[in-house]
Structure 1
């Protein structure tokens, strides 16, 4: 018999607890996708800027750049980040047909690319969890985000062994160049963020109406 979702979450919680960390409190991180920027941050370093949100119930990308020599599925196969620094690059984006996508398109279209940049960060997340965006920092060459992973409420349907994709569209208040940004990283802790940073557009994060539970609470 396959293990229950609750048993799998308990195992994940026990594994996470073996590492001393404190999520976005600054004392540690459970995983790191890249080194922190070596240069001092030109912007951010605290609360994230306004952002839009999408969640896809598969491990395919929520947004991707169109390619004439690729099929639609091939282009979506590998979720990845995008630095959108012009209207032409924004026009190249294609989106999954999911709830909230029209609001995200509008959010991107409303960007003043003479003074702002949209940074798209998307990553796979276990289906029974979601990420909270705790903070952001950036320079002309580096972008770094802080996340916290939390378990969904017990009554939110999910598959314990499945992956989903979450995408966030951050409107950075600086005119960056996609050619100059060479490092895009993040760190992920647990325990929730010290502040509440909800998306301003797009889809509804799962479990939002029922409140947030930590990984320990959902086990």
Structure 2
């Protein structure tokens, strides 16, 4: 259990965070910005993974299979698989981490190991996963926290992403779906988290798509679909 006075001091300091430049390995936002009373976080750490089988990376508590006895409308196996690829969790303590199950795959293990290295006395983790088309990528553009909530010990992070084409030399099936996962370590401690935010830009504005994606054979494909 973290020392409460120390944690409170960290929270108070974090509520007045100023942007720090030069985050090695991070991507700088170009088409997103903090909203409400959010403060941009620059010195975060990131672990990004990709499961090319399209499986779930983070196992949610409500992932029990749908049965014929359920009163809710039936969900197809494909729809259920798509739902399981989505996960959004904010981890502010060892107990939060212990409540999360990760897929027993190399991608899931990388996320688990990264989260396990977090010092929750001074840091927190925003954990996300989502589906993406096999020929597309999802990039993290910016991270911010709600300052007013943080002053009360409530971490409300926001992550903004954008979609991009993968390099033209990457072999991929345009009909297949992969799963990408992000574990964002934020240098902020909190007592709890009552929510999170996220945004997705339709493109990362890094120039035109590779020539292979401009072929007439792919002209009927909606490139913004995951």
* Pair in the same fold by TM > 0.5: yes
Aligned to 2:167: 153
Q: Deviations over 1:111-143 (max 9, x none)?
A: 111221110121111110111212111123532
SS at 2:38 equivalent: coil
Residues 12-40 of structure 1 show CA distances to partners (whole Å, capped at 9, x for unaligned) of xxxxxxxxxxx9423x7xxxxxxx86532
Look up the SS of the partner of 1:144 in the other structure: strand
Q: Which residue in the other structure is 2:115 paired with?
A: 108
Distance in 2, matches of 1:179 and 1:136, equals 16
Match of 1:15 in 2: none
Gaps of 5+ in 2: 1-27, 66-76, 214-226
CA distance in 1, matches of 2:136, 2:204: 12
Where does residue 133 of structure 1 map in the other structure?
A: 140
Q: After TM superposition, where is structure 1 displaced by more than 4 Å over at least 4 residues in a row?
A: 73-76
Residue equivalent to 2:56:
61
Shift of 1:50: 0.7
Greater relative contact order, per chain length (Cα 8 Å cut-off, separation 6+) = 1
Q: CA deviation at 1:77?
A: 2.3
| CA distance, structure 2, for counterparts of residue 54 and residue 125 of structure 1 | 12
- Judging by fraction of residues, say which structure has more helix: 2
Change (3 A) 1:218 1:174: farther
**Which residue number corresponds to residue 17 of structure 2?**
none
Residue 191 of structure 1 deviates from its aligned partner by 3.7
TM-score normalised by L of structure 2 = 0.60
Change (3 A) 1:178 1:189: farther
Q: What residue number does 1:122 align with? A: 129
Give the CA RMSD over aligned residues: 3.2
Given candidates 66, 88, 92, the residue that maps to 2:95 is 88
Instruction: Count residues with an aligned counterpart.
Output: 165
Distance 1:191 1:103, change over 3 A: closer
Structure with bigger gyration radius? 2
Q: Which 5+ residue runs of structure 1 have no aligned equivalent?
A: 1-22, 29-35, 194-212
TM-score calculated relative to the size of structure 1? 0.62
